Structure 1
Amino acid sequence: MTIPEQIEAYLTSQPQAKRTDLRALHALMLQAIPGGKLWFEDGKNSEGKVVSNPSIGYGTRTTTYADGKTKEYYQAGLSANTSGISVYILGIADKAYLAETYGKTLGKATVTGYCIKFKKLADIDVEVLEAAVKDGVGMTGEN
């Protein structure tokens, strides 16, 4: 299955209300990171054991580890979870930045160093979320 097919299967597998929100967020992410690489992580490790929720990724960033090895991964991600939806913005060095910059204006969301979690799309200001994604992606200098 291609990545777009995996993403479609994942979106289709969600309950109707969450599916609608995820589709709207998927469109937002595609707009916020135009031309960015698409990723799909099924949440399973190399042995096939579920270790995380599946996620859709957007854009590309390179992480360099202390030993000098590098790994390519996505810049921003989207995932359904048991209590709602998580949007990940990776690569921001200042772990307080998202919460300090967007936490008060985002709406009913929990904001951590790289994750914005909310129950449903109607609980947040979508324009503020889009600004946070664009801002975070811009900080990495990649796409």
Structure 2
Amino acid sequence: MSVRERIDQYIADQPPAKSAELRELHRRILAISPDAQLWFLDGRNDDGKVVTNPNIGYGSATLSYAGGDTRAFYRIGLSANTTGLSIYVMGLKDKTYLSQTYGSRLGKAKVTGYCIRFRSVEDVDLDVLEEVVADAMSPGPAGGLS
């Protein structure tokens, strides 16, 4: 199954309201960066154990780890969770960037060092979410990305 097919299946497998919101966010992210590399992570580790929620990924970045290892990964992640939706901005060097730059304008969202979590798209300002995505997907070090 291709990455696009796995993404479509993941979105379709969600409850109807969450599926519609995921589909809308997926469409908006692709409109901002139509040529972005797509990823799908099923949430399982190398041993097949579920360790996280499945994620749709967009773009490509090289993540650096404290031990000096690097890994290719996505720049933006989108995931459904038990209480709503999450958008991940990977590769941020400054863990306060999201909350300081966007937090007060996002609406009813919890913002951590690299995650924006919210119950519904109705709770957040979608124009601001699009700014976050455009910032993260832009080439170079915008937003403290590596």
Query: What range describes the TM-score normalised by the shorter chain of this pair?
Result: over 0.9
Question: Could you tell me which residue of structure 2 aligns to residue 119 of structure 1?
Answer: 119
Runs of 4+ in 1 over 6 A off after TM superposition: none
**Paired residues of 1:91 and 1:136 also in contact (CA < 8 A):** no
For 1:75, the equivalent position in structure 2 comes to 75
Structure 1 residue 134, shift from structure 2 partner = 1.3
**Residue matched to 1:91:** 91
Amino acid at match of 1:65: Y
Stretch moving more, 69-78 or 129-138: 129-138
Per the alignment, residue 129 of structure 1 pairs with 129
**Structure 2: tracts of 5 or more residues without a match:** none
Q: Distance in 2 between matches of 1:96 and 1:69?
A: 24
1:24 aligns with 2:24: yes
* 1:121 partner amino acid: V
Q: TM-score, normalised by structure 1?
A: 0.93
Structure 1 counterpart SS, 2:85: strand
Quick check: 1:50 aligned with 2:50? yes
Counterpart residue type for residue 2 of structure 1: S
8 Å Cα contact 1:96-1:113 kept in structure 2: yes
User: C-alpha separation between the residues in 1 aligned to 2:2 and 2:70?
Assistant: 25
Q: Helix, strand or coil: the match of 2:129?
A: helix
1:38-74 CA distance string (max 9 Å, x none): 0000001111111100000000001233444321000
Percent same amino acid among aligned pairs?
50
Give unmatched runs, 5+ long, in structure 1: none
TM-score, normalization by structure 2: 0.91
**Offset, 1:93:** 1.2
> Partner amino acid for 1:96?
T
- DSSP 3-state at the match of 2:71: strand
Q: Which has the larger displacement, 66-75 or 93-102? A: 66-75
For the 8 Å contact 1:85–1:119, the answer to whether it is kept is yes
- Alignment coverage as a number of residue pairs: 141
Q: Render the CA deviation track for 1:10-33: whole Å, top value 9, x for unaligned.
A: 000000000000000001111222
Conserved in 2, the CA contact under 8 Å of 1:3 and 1:39?
Answer: yes
For the residues of structure 1 that align with 2:83 and 2:125, how far apart are their CA atoms?
Answer: 18
CA distance in 1, matches of 2:126, 2:20: 14
